[in-house]
Amino acid sequence: MPDISLTTLVLLCVAALVAGWIDAVVGGGGLVMLPALLLGLPHLHHTYALGTNKALAIVGTSGAAVTFVRKAPVKVGTAVKVGLAALAGSTAGAFFAAGINEAVLRPLIMVVLVGVAAFVMFKPSFGTDTEKRGEVNRARVVTAILLVGGGVGFYDGMFGPGTGTFLVLGLTAVLHLDLVTASATAKIVNVCTNGGALAMFAYQGTVLWQLAAILAAFNLAGGMIGARMALSKGAEFVRGVLLCVVFSLVAKLAFDQWG
């Protein structure tokens, strides 16, 4: 583990707790954890922050997934299929990442996110009205595998920010899930994608395992607390957190672009 002060370690633990909570409710914990790791480990290459983040995030998302599966109506088989497609998509996205101009891509993503926020704000029933959703048929599942799994996975490997949030939105729209069930399903998908990414970072030797083990405990606690809150407070609560995360992501991308 790198030589870091006790104050820095405590702040990283708090960041891991908060990131786990956000990830469990609606995705987007990386908005908190990655900047914290980059600031806390300024003398190391950024790939160590990315690798260490994946090592602790997979623990938090796994804990949240288990909590959700026990109490939410999640179809694990469908979630795993979407997760495997996302894993393949992220691998393909990573292959093309070197040729992508992020300065061009960020404004496009910001426009999409602002549109998403406007849609969620002006359509209050999105992800909350479950009475007329019906059964999840095969066509919807195939669409979710190709578009949500493959598409969002490709975006994750190519660029990345907000992947968890896009998964929740995509699963809600395509499978007609309520936001709580979509968030639960997204956790299982995230376990698949985080596992693939972690394997690559571990192979490259860019995971700080001792630090990750400490932070993972706090991320796990945050994830389980967030999952329980989402289950108890329902879709309206998840919707509010979703809007906060979307606007935070737009602000971060704007800062990266013009700050």
What's the domain count of the chain? Answer: 1
Buried b (16+ CB within 10 A) or exposed e, 246-255: bebbbebbee
Does residue 14 lie within any of the structural domains?
Answer: yes
Residue pLDDT, tens place only, 110-153: 888 888 788 878 877 777 755 455 566 788 899 999 999 999 98
Does residue 246 lie within any of the structural domains?
Answer: yes
Does residue 236 lie within any of the structural domains?
Answer: yes
pLDDT > 90: percent of the chain: 31
Residue 206 pLDDT > 80, yes or no? yes
Calpha distance 61→103 (Å, rounded)? 30
pLDDT > 70: percent of the chain: 94
Residue pLDDT, tens place only, 150-184: 999 888 877 777 788 889 989 998 988 888 889 88
Residue 211 pLDDT > 50, yes or no? yes
Boundaries of domain holding 116: 6-258
* Cβ proximity of 110 and 254 under 8 Å: yes
Does residue 132 lie within any of the structural domains?
Answer: yes
237 Cβ contact partners less than 8 Å away, ≥ 6 residues apart: 25, 229, 230
Sign of CA dihedral 37, 41, 42, 46: negative
SS3 content of the chain, % helix, strand, coil (to 5): 80, 0, 20
Residue pLDDT, tens place only, 48-107: 888 898 899 899 999 999 998 888 888 889 999 999 999 998 888 877 766 777 677 778
What six digits make up the tokens of 41? 């480990």
Does residue 146 lie within any of the structural domains?
Answer: yes
* pTM, rounded to two decimals: 0.81
Does residue 1 lie within any of the structural domains?
Answer: no
Does residue 232 lie within any of the structural domains?
Answer: yes
pLDDT band at 208 (very low <50, low <70, confident <90, very high): very high
Calpha distance 163→54 (Å, rounded)? 13
Calpha distance 67→71 (Å, rounded)? 7
Does residue 65 lie within any of the structural domains?
Answer: yes
Q: How far is CA 4 from the centre of its chain?
A: 27
